[in-house]
């Protein structure tokens, strides 16, 4: 806004007035800046390096992984967080239902897949089924930051495909620079277009470092799967999911130790008894005074010795502070406080449900964007090997069933689900997947069970009884069916109306 001085200057010297106006506008623009990007006194001491996601991951991934290992080994909250994520993402296993142009071929393929997936032959090390490996992969991603899955062919097995699990830290990050084939960064080889050609992994067989230093071996990207959470564009390595809370977790351990010591000191009540001298001028009490105070200690001293009693401090109740720290840790791990601690005393039905809804959004992201692409590639590997000699081509499509999610109110949520199916807003197949089941398996098992029932009238059969218990029989009045009565009414001659 103009002031009286500006008006005078503009009247006598318009050019000087214009310069003043421009300068004022520049000053206002300088003041209209983001505080986060300013270098003012308030932001002094804030270290903000200009680095890319790849540079940050390259520098930190190995030490961060070692920190994650240490936390899971010795911190109960870290161990629980890792297990909670794995159990929610994988549960009892992410199952496949392949569909193709022929139901008979699809059934044969699914039976072969289930036989392979439920055998420990699938594991290169011979320990896990496919579902156990899925749990291992997810735990490794959370703890270490990333995991490799290697395609290994063992023709001595009925199904030759085996999967080898390798931690991301086995990358030979000493291999960097320009090569004839492209570029090497942290053991990852890129072609001229910047796409991954393969990985250089340390090939020490036992993973125990008992022999010579391991040498690295190149593995083509077509035979490898790299699972990690990509938080920034260009990031090529995963970082442990504890990166944002590692310091807090470590400090919380120190805080717990201090609180335990405070409780021990508060319990150190001691009683000092001064004895009278005996007739001989001496007493039987030892002349040595104690060097430390112990809980419930009783100490006898000679007469005349002066003892100063130190009252131990009262241990304060810091429950609210404990909860606040654990909430911060849970937020950094994308979990709820209740999931991290197992303490549900601070939530009611509504707040517990809202917290789970937020977590389920995160869970969808991990299942569909992290695990599903990896499983799709494993499916293609199996299809390529199984198709040889079995007349199978590439027309099959993978449909994955993720584990069911714990319901906050099972009866209400199940009724809503069934209402959507009854009103045509959801298919029975989709409803079965939400419940963690595969509809063809349910129908197949129902056929077997009904054959086992024989003529026994169990009211659990949905083809004969409604959910209310009424029999769905045309000749049963309890079913409310009046088809026979309506037919009789139609065939009955109508009386003529009397005038």
Whole-number pLDDT of residue 484:
47
Query: Do the strands 177-178 and 161-167 form a parallel or antiparallel pair, or are they unpaired?
Result: unpaired
Question: Quick check: 387 and 98 in contact, CB under 8 A?
Answer: no
Whole-number pLDDT of residue 181:
77
Q: Which ranges of the chain have pLDDT less than 70?
A: 1-2, 27-33, 101, 204-213, 269-291, 293, 295-298, 301-317, 388-394, 457, 459, 465-469, 472-499
Coil, strand or helix at 107: helix
Element containing residue 196 per DSSP (H, E): strand 196-202
Q: Using CA atoms, how far apart are residues 120 and 148, in angstroms rounded to an integer?
A: 19
Length in residues, the chain = 499
* Tokens of residue 190, six digits: 């890129």
Q: Using CA atoms, how far apart are residues 60 and 58, in angstroms rounded to an integer?
A: 6
**Residue 367 phi/psi, 5° resolution?**
-65, -45
Helices and strands, counts by H and E, the chain: 15, 12
105-111 contacts: CB < 8 A, separation 24 or more? Answer: 105/392, 106/396, 107/440, 109/386, 109/392, 109/396
Q: Using CA atoms, how far apart are residues 81 and 85, in angstroms rounded to an integer?
A: 6
Q: Using CA atoms, how far apart are residues 142 and 210, in angstroms rounded to an integer?
A: 27
What sections of 367-492 are H helices per DSSP? 372-386, 410-422, 428-434, 439-453, 483-491
Which one, of 152, 160, 188, 194, lies nearest residue 173 by Cα? 188
> Around Cβ 381, how many Cβ atoms within 10 Å?
18
Mutual orientation of helices 53-74 and 246-266 as an angle, nearest 10°?
30
Tens digit of pLDDT for each residue in 250-304?
998 888 888 888 777 777 766 666 665 655 555 555 556 666 767 666 677 666 6
Cα 199 → chain centroid:
26
């Amino acid at each position: 806004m103009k002031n009286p001085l500006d008006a005078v200057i503009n009247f006598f010297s318009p050019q000087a007035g214009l310069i003043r106006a421009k300068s004022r506008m520049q000053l206002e623009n300088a003041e209209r800046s983001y505080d986060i990007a300013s270098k003012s006194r308030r932001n002094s001491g804030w270290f903000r390096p200009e680095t890319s996601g790849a540079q940050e991951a390259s520098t930190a991934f190995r030490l961060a992984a070692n920190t994650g290992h240490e936390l899971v080994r010795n911190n109960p909250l870290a161990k629980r967080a890792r297990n909670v994520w794995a159990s929610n993402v994988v549960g009892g296993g992410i199952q496949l239902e392949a569909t193709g142009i022929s139901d008979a071929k699809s059934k044969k393929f699914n039976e072969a897949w289930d036989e392979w997936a439920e055998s420990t032959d699938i594991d290169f090390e011979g320990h896990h089924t496919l579902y156990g490996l899925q749990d291992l992969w997810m735990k490794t991603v959370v703890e270490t930051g990333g995991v490799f899955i290697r395609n290994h062919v063992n023709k001595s097995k009925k199904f030759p495909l085996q999967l080898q699990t390798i931690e991301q830290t086995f990358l030979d990050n000493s291999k960097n620079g320009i090569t004839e084939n492209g570029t090497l960064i942290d053991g990852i080889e890129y072609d001229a277009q910047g796409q991954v050609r393969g990985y250089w992994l340390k090939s020490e067989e036992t993973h125990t470092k008992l022999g010579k230093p391991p040498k690295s071996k190149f593995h083509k990207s077509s035979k490898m799967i790299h699972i990690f959470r990509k938080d920034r564009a260009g990031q090529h390595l995963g970082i442990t999911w504890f990166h944002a809370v590692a310091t807090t977790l470590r400090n919380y351990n120190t805080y717990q130790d201090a609180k335990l010591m405070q409780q021990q000191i508060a319990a150190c009540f001691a009683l000092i008894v001064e004895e009278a001298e005996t007739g001989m001028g001496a007493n039987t009490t030892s002349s040595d005074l104690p060097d430390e105070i112990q809980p419930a200690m009783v100490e006898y001293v000679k007469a005349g010795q002066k003892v100063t009693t130190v009252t131990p401090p009262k241990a304060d109740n810091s429950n609210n502070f404990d909860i606040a720290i654990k909430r911060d840790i849970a937020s950094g791990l994308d979990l709820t406080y209740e999931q991290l601690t197992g303490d549900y005393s601070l939530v009611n039905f509504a707040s517990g449900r809202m917290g789970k809804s937020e977590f389920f959004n995160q869970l969808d992201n991990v299942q569909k964007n992290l695990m599903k692409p990896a499983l799709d590639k494993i499916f293609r590997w199996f299809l390529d090997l199984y198709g040889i000699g079995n007349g199978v081509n590439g027309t099959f499509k993978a449909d994955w069933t993720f584990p069911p999610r714990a319901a906050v109110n099972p009866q209400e949520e199940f009724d809503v689900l069934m209402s959507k199916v009854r009103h045509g807003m959801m298919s029975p197949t989709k409803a079965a997947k939400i419940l963690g089941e595969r509809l063809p398996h349910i129908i197949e098992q129902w056929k077997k069970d009904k054959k086992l029932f024989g003529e026994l009238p169990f009211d659990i059969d949905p083809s004969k009884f409604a959910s209310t218990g009424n029999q769905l029989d045309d000749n049963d009045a309890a079913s409310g069916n009046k088809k026979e009565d309506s037919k009789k009414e139609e065939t009955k001659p109508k009386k003529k109306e009397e005038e």
